[in-house]
Amino acid sequence: MAQRIAVIPGDGIGKEVMPEGVRILEAAARRFAIDLELEAFDFASCDYYLEHGQMLPDDWFETLEGFDAIYYGAVGWPETVPDHVSLWGSLLQFRRRFDQYINLRPCRLLPGIQSPLAGREPGDIDFYVVRENTEGEYSSVGGKMFEGTEREIVIQETVMTRHGTDRVLKFAYELARSRPRKKLTSATKSNGIAITMPWWDERVAAMGAHYPEVAVDQFHIDILTANFVMHPDWFDVVVASNLFGDILSDLGPACTGTIGVAPSANINPEGTFPSLFEPVHGSAPDIAGKGIANPIGQIWSGAMLLEHLGHREAADAVVSAFEAVLRDGDKRVLTPDVGGTGTTEALGRAIASRL
C-alpha cells in the first residue's frame, strides 16, 4: 500500500525549496522502489490566510490525520500576517493535535561547509538534539494579578509529567542505543531549579536502567551551552526539556554553519498521528523570490521523513548525495549561502542526478 505524504510548502522560500524536496523524494522513491503518494495543500500559509481569514480550513485535522507524514516548508510573512498568528494558526496546531512530542534535530558538520567554530572538520560534530515538544516550561498554567499596580504578580508554572518525561527519555535512549557511540547527555539545571530538575535527573537514571549499554552523562544547561561551542565532539545524543531543548536545538545547528542546511522532525513515535518534517529555517522574506535559497534543509528533512517511514537505505542515499555535491564544491551549483553562485533549482537538480 502506498505511503501518503501531505506536502505543504507554506510561505516565502518554502515555496521555492519544496519543489526540490519533492524532486529528491520522487527520485529516491524511483531508485528504491518505494510506493509514495504525494498530495499538495495550499493551507498553513499566509496567502491562504489572506483569502480565508484563517490559516487552516475547519476540517484540517480530518484531512491530514490519515497521512503517513507531513512534509512542510516554512510559514510566515510578517508584512501581511503577524508571526504569532501564522505560527500558532498552523505549525503549533499540528504539533499539539498530532501529539508530536519529539523534536529531533541532527547537528552535523557537512563537507564543504565552514563551521563558525575554528578548526572543526566534518566528523568532529555529529550529534542529535532531542527536545521535549509538548510540556515543561512552555505551559499555559499561571496568571497575572494586580496588573498595572505596584503589587503586580506574574506566575507561569513548569509542568512536567512522568508520562511526558519518560516518553521523551525513552526515545532518546533508543536513539542513543542505535548509534555507534551509544552515548546520552541530559540537559539539567538541578542546582538552581530545585524541584523539577532533580526529578528530571531521577527519571533519566530510572530510564537508563533499561539501557545498560548506553553511557549517560549530564550537564547543567549553562555549561552545556558552553560545551556545545568548546567541545562539540563530546556529544552523541542530547536530551532536554522543552525550553532547554529549544535553545540547544538552535545552538547545535548554528555550530555547523549555514541555517539553510539544517533539518528537523516533529515526531509522534507511536504513529498514531502523522509526524512532520521541515527545515529549521523560516520563510526568509529577505531572499524570497530570488531563487537562491539553499534547498538542503528541506531535502535533509525529506531524508528524515524517509527514515521515519522505514526507508533507512533511501534516507542514507539522499544524505550521501547532497554530501557528495557539497564535497565537489562546484560554485556554479552551490547557492550563495555556501559560497556559490547557483540557484535553488540547480542545486536540487545536481543532488537528484547524483542520487
* Alpha-carbon span 245 to 132, nearest angstrom: 7
The reply to whether 110 sits near ligand NAI by the rule CB under 6 A is no
Q: Which is nearer to ligand NAI, 165 or 344 (CB)?
A: 344
Q: Which stretch binds ligand NAI (CB under 6 A): 61-69, 215-223, 225-233, 290-298?
A: 290-298
Nearest C-alpha neighbor of 266 from the set 280, 255, 256: 280
Picking from 301, 200, 184, 190, the residue whose alpha carbon sits closest to that of residue 242 is 200
- How many other C-beta atoms can be found within 10 angstroms of the C-beta atom of residue 316? 13
User: Could you say which residues in the range 297-316 bind ligand NAI, by CB under 6 A?
Assistant: 297
Q: Which does 197 bind (CB under 5 to 8 A by kind): Mg ion, ligand NAI, none?
A: none
294, interface contact from ligand NAI, Mg ion, none, CB < 5-8 Å by kind = ligand NAI
d(CA 334, CA 326): 8
In the complex, minimum distance from the CB of residue 287 to ligand NAI, in angstroms, rounded to a whole number? 4
Dist CA 297 CA 256 (whole Å): 12
Binding test (CB under 6 A) with ligand NAI, winner from 284, 303, 306, 317: 284
Residue 340 interacting entry, from Mg ion, ligand NAI, none, C-beta within 5 to 8 Å by type:
none
Nearest to 38 by CA among 51, 29, 49: 29
260 touches 281 (CB < 8 A): yes
Of all residues in this chain, which one has the CB nearest to Mg ion in the complex? 246
Where does this chain touch ligand NAI (CB under 6 A) — which range of 68-76, 112-120, 141-149, 239-247?
68-76
Q: How long is the chain?
A: 355
The DSSP result for 85-151, as a single string, is HHHHTTHHHHHHHTT--EEEEEEEPPTT---SSTT--TTT-EEEEEEE-SSBT----EEEESTTSTT
**Is 287 among the residues that bind ligand NAI (CB under 6 A)?**
yes
Q: Return the one option of Mg ion, ligand NAI, none that residue 83 interacts with (CB less than 5 to 8 A, by type).
A: ligand NAI
Min CB(96)–ligand NAI separation in Å: 15
With CA atoms as reference, report the closest residue to 106 among 265, 273, 331, 330.
265
Work out how close the CB of 131 gets to Mg ion at its nearest, in angstroms, rounded to a whole number.
9
Contact region with ligand NAI (CB under 6 A), list: 25-33, 56-64, 134-142, 279-287: 279-287
The Cα–Cα gap between 260 and 286 comes to: 13
Which of 105, 281, 308, 311 is the binder for ligand NAI (CB under 6 A)? 281
Out of ligand NAI, Mg ion, none, what residue 246 binds, judged by CB under 5 to 8 A for its kind, is: Mg ion
Applying CB under 6 A, which of residues 7, 55, 69, 75 lies at the interface with ligand NAI? 75
Binding track, positions 312-341, relative to ligand NAI; x by CB under 6 A: -------------------------x----
* CA 200 – CA 186 distance, rounded (Å): 9
The residues in 242-271 that bind Mg ion, with binding defined as CB under 5 A, are 246
Minimum CB separation of residue 72 from ligand NAI in Å reads 7
20 belongs to the binding site for Mg ion (CB under 5 A)? no
The Cα 168–Cα 99 span in angstroms is 12
- Closest separation between CB of residue 150 and Mg ion, Å? 35
Name which position in 214, 224, 293, 321 contacts ligand NAI (CB under 6 A).
293
Residues binding ligand NAI: what is the number (CB under 6 A)?
23
Pairing of the two strands 142-145 and 153-156: antiparallel
In sign, the C-alpha dihedral spanning 242, 243, 246, 249 is negative
- Give 41's DSSP letter: -
Report the relative pairing of strands 237-240 and 126-132 from DSSP bridges. Answer: parallel
Q: Which positions lie near Mg ion, rule CB under 5 A?
A: 246
Q: Which positions lie near ligand NAI, rule CB under 6 A?
A: 13, 17, 74-76, 78, 83, 87, 91, 259-260, 278, 281-287, 293-294, 297, 337
